[in-house]
Structures are given as structure tokens and as C-alpha cells.
Amino acid sequence: MEKEYLKGKKVLVMGLGLHGGGVATTKWLVERGAKVTATDMRTRKVLQPSIDALQGYKVRYVLGKHDEKDFIVHDIIVANPGVPRESPYLAIARKAGKRIVNDVTLFFDTTTQPVIAVTGTRGKTTTTLWVATMLSKKWPLARPSGNTPDNALLKEAVRIAGKDTPVVAELSSWQLEFLPQAKRAPHIAIITNIYPDHLNRYGNIEHYALAKGGIFKNQQDGDFLILNAEDKWTAFFLKQKPKSMVFYASRKELPLRKNGIFVRDGYAIFRADAIEQKIVRVDRFMKERGAHALQNLLEALLAVKLYAPEIRMTEKTILELPDPMMRQEIVHTDKHLVVVNDSCATSPDGVAAALARFGKDTKQKLFLIAGGTDKQLDFSGLAKDINKILPPRQLILLEGTGTSKLLEELAKLKYTKEVLPVFTTLEDCVLFARSLIRELPVKTKTVLVFSPGGSSFEKFLHEFARGDAFNALVKKHLKR
């Protein structure tokens, strides 16, 4: 979509939101001459931070409701991620023949820069961050963008416009629903894995996976698709016959016929057309970060190898790769206590990954704060992990619909004869954790992990607000 196409057009932004993406999209549209209306079911009071961020931009607001007429009189409808595909308002726009897009469509219609895009259920934020970090060795302006609270995709496009810098973008399933409509596709697309998630939106995991597969629909012969060789949904994507060159990432040795990256004798090995190259030693990284992080690292290394083979990585470099915000992020350490903020673990699988990483050291006490809003997901696997790893006294629960499902699964396993306490506020959870930690012998090595396993909407506006609240409570109650 060219600037001239937008100039003077009436554009409706549906879902202003609070993450920053809606604000970035609105600014981008106004700066290109569009006549913008922003509409959201939330009230002006709730959305005031976003409205303040748009001060000085000419925007018409319809808040606390949607007006059906807006979906008929506007030329283009920009649907933001929280908008249900089955929205009756979008149905009105379709019937009226309006073009329905999102920020990803707008971005790929206009950018001329190469894009490395990452999706998947788990690890996409970490992989995106690590790709950008590695590429910044050659392109200092490279940074993660897309489905992030601080660098929305269109904001990134403006930031590096005209510069010799690739775009590294995390794309959610919601964003990818519209990507096949765009004029371009990512040069390198990565799908980290598929687990049940957002089934309250998609109904079943196959529909969810189809949305993820939108990342490679428009790729061509000269593009690359990176798939997780160990993920059972990889076969599902291959059946869709991608036109791009397929490379695989695996912690196990790949069959000779497959190109990609794998681990052999503690090293990451890159293979292309039967020619192998040792990239970097990864056994210490695996020991410190865990198997799930190693898989993300391999995918990031492979993307960088395909895009910029001249960039060399050392063991020191990969050991210093940063943790993404609120994804198993260590937010406090002292002599005896480590506190981990995993607020972005919004599914049971995310909690399971945190337990696998921080529960393997039997010499330390692990406490888990979990609980949140259900997304029609299965909590039986997480209950089994908790039953195996965590004594009842070390599980602290925040109330929510997801918490109720977890309790039902724990009861089936006869996890405890006692009634587990469920707290109404996150502060009560942190205070209870503090009381339990203070009961331990003074020199006990302790880890407190906040990994909810559900979305945040019963208690917070979004998972980032939830994570910010947790960090504030750690500073208030746990730092000495």
C-alpha cells in the first residue's frame, strides 16, 4: 500500500489497545495522510495512556462501543490483534466490500527491506531477540520488533527506513491471519514449534497451526523456511508444499538428506547440500539455559547463518545472550534467592518449560506462583509436572479460570489431601511466598518463579502489566 493510496483515505483502526501496537499503527496512518478513526470497546478512561500517546495527531475516537456505520463509510478497516475473526462488525465491512488489513499487511505492503520473521507457540520472542542480537554485530541498528510492547512493526519500519538494516520481527498467529493478503513475505521465516494455545479463538489446534503457516504462504524460491525437526507439526507444514527452501533445526543429528543445523559432540553443526561446518560449542549453553533454550539458539544461529554467513559466533557470545523481558527473566538475585518473572507464560506449556529449567537442581528450593485466565487449554500435563517436581507447600496459586482447571487436574492425581490456598491478589501471593521463604534455614538456596500458565485478563490489562506489577512487588517485599 503506497503513501498515495493512503492519502485522503478514510481508515478505521479497530482496537486501539494498550500494548502500543494500535498507537503505532494509528500514527503511521496519520503520517501518511489517512483520515483515521480509532474505535475500541474499552472506555476512554481505560485507554487514556494510548490517547495521550496520540496527542498532536488528528484522530477521531469512538470508544466504549463500535458504530456499525463506521464499518461501511470507511475505505479500509485495520483490525488489531484482539479483534475476533468472527466479529459481526468485520462481517459488516466484508459485506460492504471494504479491505480488511492489519499492521502486518500494511508493513509488508510497504517495506522494501529484507525481513526475518519468527512465529510459533513457545520461544518466538527469545528467538527473535537472539537473531537481532547476533545481527547487530554487523548491523548495529538491528533490534527485535513486531509482537512486542515497545517496538511495534510499523514503528520499526519508520525507525530504520532507508537504512541498510534487516527487520527482525516476531509475528503472532493473530497477525499472521492477514499476511497471505500482503504483497511480500519474509525472506527468512522461522516456526519454532506448535502447542495448543489460543483455542478460545481458533477452536482447534489445526486452525491455530494454519494461522501460523501464513508466515510462509507468499515465500518464493529464493526465500528460506526454518522448521523444528523435532516438532510433530513440521510434517503438517511440509504438506502445504512451501515454495521456499526448507532448513531444519534439531538438537539431534539430522538425517543426511536434510539441510540445517544440529548438535554433534557438543557443537552446533551447519549442513547445506552435504557440506558441514562447525559453528560454535553449545554444550555449556545447554547446561545453563536448558533444552528449550538450546532449540531457540539453534534456530537463531541458522537464520543468521543463512542471512549473513560472515558473522561468527563464539561460545562467550552465546552465553551472554540476553533473556527476553518477562520470559523466564531473572529480575532479582541475592546471596540465597533468585526471582524469575515469566509473566508471558500464558499457557501450561510455558510453565512446564520454566519448571524444567529451574526445577532440575535438587539442591535448591523451588517455589512457583501460578494461575490465570483459561484459553480453553489442557492443564493435565502441567499438573503431572507439578506433581512430579513440586511439593504442595511450594505451589502458590492466584485465582482464575485457568487456576480452577489446574486444581481439578491436581485433584485427579491426589496431589495433596489439604486444600491448596488460592489468593485473590498477586500481592498476597508474593507475601505468602515471602513467609514460606523466611521459614527456611538461612543459607537455603531458593528460586521463586512467577509463571502464570494463563492469560491475565481477569486481573490485569495484559501480561506485561501483570509482569510490571510482579516486579514492583518483588522490589517492595523481597529485595533486602
Q: 170 lies in a domain?
A: yes
Which of these three, 86, 101, 116, is where a domain ends? 101
Q: Report d(CA 286, CA 167) in Å as an integer.
A: 28
Closest CA to 296 of 363, 257, 361, 250: 250
The tens digit of pLDDT for each residue in 196-212 reads: 887 778 889 999 999 99
Residue 201 placed within a domain: yes
Please give the tally of structural domains in the chain.
Answer: 3
CB atoms within 10 A of CB 212: 25
439-476 pLDDT, tens per residue? 999 889 999 999 999 988 889 888 989 999 999 999 99
Domain membership of residue 92 (yes or no) is: yes
Categorize the per-residue pLDDT at 5 as very low, low, confident or very high, splitting at 50, 70 and 90: low
pLDDT on residue 151 = 82
Chain centroid, CA 16 distance in Å: 20
CATH number assigned to the domain comprising residue 49: 3.40.50.720
Range of the domain at 195: 105-319
The share of the chain scoring above pLDDT 70, in percent, equals 98
| Pair 199, 291 in one domain | yes
- Global pTM reads 0.83
Tens of pLDDT, residue by residue over 113-170, are 999 999 999 999 999 999 999 999 999 999 999 876 678 888 888 889 889 899 999 9
Is the same domain home to 334 and 225?
Answer: no
Q: Which of 138, 94, 65 is nearest to 313 (CA)?
A: 138
Cell digits for 173? 498467529
pLDDT per residue over 74-118, tens digit each?
Answer: 999 999 877 887 899 999 999 999 999 998 999 998 888 999 999
Residues above pLDDT 90, as percent of the chain: 78
Residue 368: per-residue pLDDT: 98
Residues 148 and 294 both lie in one domain: yes
Task: Write the DSSP assignment of 331-366 as a string of letters.
Answer: EEE-SSEEEEE-TT--SHHHHHHHHHHHSS-TTSEE
Mean pLDDT score, 413-440: 95
Cα dist from 239 to 171, 194, 213, 236, 395, whole Å? 22, 15, 11, 5, 42
Instruction: Indicate whether 312 belongs to any domain.
Output: yes
Distances (CA, A) of 195 to 67, 97, 133, 203, 337: 37, 35, 26, 14, 32
Would you state the cell numbers that stand for residue 374, as one nine-digit string? 483459561
Q: What is the band of 253 on the pLDDT scale with cuts at 50, 70, 90?
A: very high
Residue 324, domain member (yes or no):
no
How does the average pLDDT of the chain come out, rounded? 93
23 neighbors 54 (Cβ within 8 angstroms):
yes
CA 109 to chain centre: 23
Give yes or no: residues 76 and 92 share one domain. Answer: yes
Assess whether 295 and 335 both reside in one domain.
no
Place of cell 495433596: 416
- Which of 319, 350, 382 terminates a domain? The answer is 319
* pLDDT surpassing 50 at residue 2: no
| Residue 300, domain CATH | 3.40.1190.10
> Chain centroid to CA 322: how far?
16
